[in-house]
């Protein structure tokens, strides 16, 4: 009851609708500089992080570079295990290579599952050892309710985190490695002639947006750790379990907007941070929100209009090409005219 009342008061302080806590999954709004909590909603409930896992994969890669174990110009190789990862992926053949720099950008911008495994194998020698390092690092950062099973966030029932733990990770990666800030803010990247775009629409629509990462699997819903900086102040929002990408963007943007508008004297006496707030006694384990997700991939929802339009365009182009080829063939090889000779033998029907 105390947590509910606290959330209600924070909602009122931010000017958010009081009905928000009852309608959505975990959420957290905090000051990136000191971790001060501006809004918290079920922040200790465990949730499947999906591709937010890749923030930890990038963090460990940054640490390895800093330690001199590898450089941005080193190559990572696509192993059989990496090649077998399902999309989202770059799709390199076995033995294909990328520089560490391109691999990191692909991990963050494209959210490439195959590249996550490639980096894991490069940094730790094997995926299993890298996952062990991920969990050890999570303990060091105080991510007490987080367990990693793989480096990319693909569905695993035991792979869980919380909004609070992801906030700690986001603060660590941005504070310790500011030199990679541009990676988190990239809206697109190129590998050769191929252009890859970010799934984080907030980078294109929200004033001051500068990171970090989106995530989605059917059981988790649409997740995001979003950040924005205005007038030298950086706020971050963690939003988990939204039913669509659009809902995810709206909720994260609303939290950040209200945070910037309300941040000031109201927070002078707020000393609650992601580090000192006690874990809620009623914090829950992970649940699946598959039934609420608006995606055909999850067995329900609406078909993505952009995907449908793209498929229709490809189909129309193929039909147009086929008709043009048929027309060209008819001009090149016109049908033979029927003979008018009286001596022509009659055609016998085949029974």
pLDDT digits (tens, 9 = 90+) for 14-40: 444 433 333 469 999 999 999 999 999
Q: How confident is the model at residue 316 (pLDDT cuts 50, 70, 90)?
A: confident
| Catalytic-role residue among 36, 51, 106, 168 | 51
Q: Is 242 left (phi over 0), alpha (psi -120 to 50) or beta?
A: beta
Among 125-139, 236-250, 262-276, 332-346, the minimum mean pLDDT is found in 332-346
Active-site residue, selected from the candidate residues 54, 110, 122, 168: 54
344 counts as catalytic: no
Percent residues over pLDDT 90 in the chain: 72
Q: Average pLDDT, stretch 313-317?
A: 71
- Angle formed at CA 154 by CA 150 and CA 155, multiple of 5 degrees: 105
Across residues 241-247, what is the average pLDDT?
95
Better-predicted residue by pLDDT, 317 or 174: 174
As a whole number, mean pLDDT of residues 223-227 equals 98
54 labelled catalytic: yes
pTM for this model (two decimals): 0.80
**Confidence band (pLDDT; 50, 70, 90) for 334?**
low
Which one, of 268, 282, 293, 237, lies nearest residue 20 by Cα? 237
Task: Indicate if the pLDDT at residue 102 is higher than 60.
Answer: yes
The CA distance from 136 to 274, in Å, is 19
Between the ranges 35-44, 264-273, 307-316, where is the mean pLDDT highest?
35-44
- Please state, in angstroms and rounded to a whole number, the distance separating the CA atoms of residues 148 and 312: 39
Question: Which of the following is catalytic: 88, 111, 161, 227?
Answer: 111
How many Å apart are CA 189 and CA 203, to the nearest integer?
14
- Catalytic residue status for 198: no
Q: At residue 325, does pLDDT exceed 80?
A: no
What the block records as the tokens of 137 is 């690092």
Lowest-confidence range among 24-38, 73-87, 160-174, 331-345? 331-345
Residue 137 has pLDDT above 50, yes or no: yes
The overall longest dimension of the chain from CA atoms, in Å, is 110
Residue 339 confidence (pLDDT): 45
Q: Choose between 262 and 229: higher pLDDT.
A: 229
Contact indicator for 20, 252 with CB cutoff of 8 Å: no
- Judged on CB neighbours under 10 Å (0-12, 13-18, 19+), 304 is middle
């Amino acid at each position: 009851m105390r947590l509910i009342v606290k959330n209600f008061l924070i909602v009122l302080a931010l000017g958010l609708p009081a009905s928000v806590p009852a309608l959505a999954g975990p959420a957290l709004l905090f000051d990136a500089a000191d971790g001060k909590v501006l809004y918290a909603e079920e922040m200790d409930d465990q949730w499947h992080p999906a591709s937010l896992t890749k923030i930890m994969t990038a963090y460990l890669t940054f640490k390895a570079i800093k330690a001199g174990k590898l450089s941005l110009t080193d190559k990572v190789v696509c192993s059989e295990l990496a090649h077998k990862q399902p999309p989202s992926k770059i799709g390199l053949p076995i033995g294909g290579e990328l520089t560490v720099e391109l691999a990191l950008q692909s991990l963050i911008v494209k959210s490439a599952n195959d590249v996550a495994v490639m980096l894991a194998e490069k940094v730790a020698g094997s995926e299993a050892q890298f996952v062990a390092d991920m969990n050890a690092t999570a303990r060091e950062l105080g991510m007490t309710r987080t367990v990693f099973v793989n480096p990319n966030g693909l569905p695993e029932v035991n792979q869980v985190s919380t909004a609070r733990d992801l906030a700690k990770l986001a603060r660590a990666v941005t504070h310790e490695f500011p030199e990679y800030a541009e990676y988190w803010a990239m809206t697109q990247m190129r590998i050769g002639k191929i252009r890859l775009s970010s799934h984080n629409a907030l980078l294109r629509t929200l004033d001051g947006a500068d990171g970090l990462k989106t995530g989605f699997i059917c059981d988790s819903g649409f997740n995001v750790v979003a950040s924005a900086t205005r007038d030298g102040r950086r706020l971050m929002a963690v939003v988990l379990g939204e039913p669509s990408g659009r809902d995810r963007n709206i909720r994260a943007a609303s939290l950040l907007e209200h945070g910037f508008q309300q941040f000031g004297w109201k927070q002078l006496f707020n000393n609650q941070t992601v580090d000192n707030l006690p874990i809620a006694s009623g914090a829950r384990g992970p649940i699946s929100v598959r039934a609420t997700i608006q995606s055909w991939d999850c067995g329900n929802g609406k078909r993505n209009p952009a995907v449908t339009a793209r498929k229709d365009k490809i189909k129309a182009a193929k039909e147009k090409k086929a008709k043009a080829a048929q027309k060209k063939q008819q001009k090149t090889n016109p049908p033979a005219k029927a003979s008018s000779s009286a001596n022509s033998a009659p055609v016998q029907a085949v029974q």
